[in-house]
Amino acid sequence: MKKAVFLDRDGTVIIDRVYLNDPKGISVYPESYDALQLLHTEGYLIFLVTNQSGVARGFVQEENVKIINSMIIEDFASKGSLISGAYYCPHPVDGGCECRKPNPGMLKAAALEHGVDLKKSWMVGDRMSDVEAGRRAGTKSILLLNETTPPIDGGFDDAEFSRENILEAAKLIVIEDKK
C-alpha cells in the first residue's frame, strides 16, 4: 500500500479565486512547486481533492473544473511533480453527498483506485472541513493558516498540525514520517 498526500486545491495549491470558472484565472502559489517536488521526491502519491459547489450553483461549468484540474496537473508535471489525480465534488453544500468535504468520499475513492494506505497518508487544506475530511478518512491532517483561511469555528476538532503555507506543510510531513 502506498502513502499519499491529499491537497485541497483553492487556497492551498492555487490562490482561491472563489468560483474559479476561467482557466486563465489559475494562479499557483510559488511555494507549491517546491512543496510538491519535495513530496514527489519522498515517494508520496499526490492528489487534489476539491469542493466545487459553484457547479451546483451555476457559477462554474463542470467542464471548466476538469480543464482547470488538468491544467494544474500538466503544469506540475512539466516541473517534475506528478499529481496522480484530481477529485472534485460538484454537489451543493447541503446536498448530503459522501464526496463533499468534510466527508471523506474523495479521499476514499482515490485510496481505493490507487492502492493508498490512508493511515500512512496526509490531508492538507486551508479549511477545517479539509482537516475533518482527513480525520474521517483516517489520515493525519494539516491546516494551512493563510490569508484565505476562514475563522476557525468550534464545529470540528482541532487540526493535528498547522502551518503557514504548503511548503512548510510538506516539510513537516517529511519530518513527521521519518520519526
Helix (H), strand (E) counts: the chain: 6, 6
Query: Would you state the pLDDT for residue 154?
Result: 64
- The Cα 101–Cα 93 span in angstroms is 9
CATH domain 4-177 topology:
Rossmann fold (3.40.50)
Query: Would you state the pLDDT for residue 103?
Result: 97
Torsion of the alpha carbons at 115, 118, 123 and 129, rounded to the nearest 10: 110
Q: Could you give the residue numbers annotated as active site?
A: 8, 10
Query: Would you state the pLDDT for residue 57?
Result: 95
All cell numbers assigned to 14: 492555487
Among positive and negative, which fits the CA dihedral 32, 37, 43, 45?
A: positive
Residue 110's nearest CA partner among 139, 142, 132 is 139
Distant-in-sequence, close-in-space partners of 75: CB < 8 Å, separation ≥ 6:
26, 28
Query: Would you state the pLDDT for residue 155?
Result: 77
Q: Phi/psi at 115 (nearest 5 deg)?
A: 65, 45
Per-residue pLDDT of the chain (179 residues; tens, 9 = 90+): 999 999 999 999 999 999 999 999 999 999 999 999 999 999 999 999 999 999 999 999 999 999 999 999 999 999 999 999 999 999 999 888 999 999 999 999 999 999 999 999 999 999 999 999 999 999 999 999 977 676 666 678 888 999 999 999 999 999 999 99
- The Cα 63–Cα 92 span in angstroms is 17
